[in-house]
Amino acid sequence: MAQVLEFKLPDLGEGLTEAEIVRWLVEVGDVVAIDQPVVEVETAKAMVEVPCPYGGVVTARFGEEGTELPVGAPLLTVAVGSSDSGSGPVSATGSGAAGSGPAEAESSGNVLVGYGTGAPAARRRRVRPEPVSARPATPVPVRSATPEPAAAAEAVRAEEVRGPVAVVSPLVRKLARQHDVDLRQVTGSGRDGLILRADVEAAIRAVTERTAVAAAPATVTAPLATAPRAALGAAGERIPLRGVRGAVADKLSRSRHEIPDATCWVDADATELMAARAAMNGAGGPSAGPKVSVLALLARICTAALAKFPELNSTVDPAAREIVRLRDIHLGFAAQTERGLVVPVVRDAQSRNVESIGAEIARLTESARTGTLTPAELTGGTFTLNNYGVFGVDGSTPIINHPEAAMLGVGRIVPKPWVHGGELAVRQVVQLSLTFDHRVCDGGTAGGFLRYVADCVEQPAVLLRTV
């Protein structure tokens, strides 16, 4: 007998609690292999493919393309195991090979998004099972090419979801606790009454409005309590803070709320740095490899500066009231994409030379533009380099990428009057700014770091003397 198994949106890690369905890779009735990608989703971090740990026939899908689902919500159901007709189990390759092992044997257990699976890569071509008319007439609980499996899947899932409160997301429960919302009094708008974050936020607004009405003079009526919101809606556009924009907003707000930051800055003469870059790129001739970028040179300078001032390659553990000095340098760099601002991470930057750092920056930048960065490539940074000069601005006070302790900002490099060798000359000048967590160090350390970076920019030979 075939068994219907439900595959739910797995825990995406890194605090991600929802994902948007971008594209289904399978249809109802398709035969899928174990660990075959079945849907492409977009999280606040990246666009990734979700592999299904079961092999069998897809009997139902939940959610249209463009729908946002919370972690733990059903994605699809798969019929696995053998049928009553004796045609054999539905295998990972879609064949009817003999055998009647338990359904659990048709699962890899691999469900993590973006990290791959342990089974061999499954083919991506959609495979259609034989038509129902060609199969034996003996009835079975699940028939993959008819609508009944979806109804059967609904019944199975309804049994699993049934409970006193239909809440999947821990973020929703936390939000309800913070605002004293009784989830038993909330009607869920999700499938099978699943309570979503929007439902809890609506309940919070309702309580707030009732409280405002009760506290207002008797002449104030209930409709006036919602007038400001209605007026705002009529005056302009409301844009939901979700996806990449929402994740960035949450992280920046947390940084400003938790980190007592300070900023120092300095102008530096980058003429010699630009000359060194030109010499490096011209040394190999036209057949040389990829050109060395200014960002790669600055990244290499940062790793040398962090080796001299390790206080800035750290994080704060507020619960333990400890500063955690980090051994390795995982250098993040800000990249603006069509999906928003992302910060890919060059791992183990302290062990890379300029060419290696440049190649990794180029690879990660291309992945950022195509939306294929994995969660692992977007997390774990210990220090961030922000080149806002590409936007044509000179200076900024960047917000620290929580939970890091510092960020170096780099403005545009432009010709400016500069005193060089005791005489006024036109030089290539850049403004450097350092925003740092004042808990990990004082101004002397931050100033020393920034001054060292500026010295390396003005005289690249300084870097050679310290490596």
- Can you tell me which residue has the tokens 């972690």? 71
Query: What distances in angstroms separate CA 314 from CA 1, 80, 317, 445, one per listed residue?
Result: 57, 49, 10, 13
CA distance 184 to 199: 12
- Can you tell me which residue has the tokens 């556009």? 237
| Residues paired with 315 in a beta bridge | 324
Q: Which of 330, 402, 420, 438 does the annotation list as catalytic?
A: 438
CA distance 200 to 206: 10
Alpha-helical (H) ranges within 162-196 are 170-178
Q: With the C-alpha atoms ordered 431, 432, 435, 436, is the resulting torsion angle positive or negative?
A: negative
Helices and strands, number each (H, E), in the chain:
11, 20
Say if CB 142 and CB 59 are below 8 A apart.
Answer: yes
DSSP string, 125-141: S-BPPPPGGGS-SS--S
**Is 438 among the residues known to form the active site?**
yes
CA distance 315 to 308: 17
Q: Which residues of 317-334 are buried (b: 16+ CB within 10 A; e: fewer)?
A: eeeeeeeeeeeebbbbbb
Residue 464 DSSP SS3: helix
- Can you tell me which residue has the tokens 């079945």? 38
User: At 58, phi and psi to the nearest 5?
Assistant: -70, 120
| Residues paired with 407 in a beta bridge | 384, 435
Enumerate the active-site residues: 438
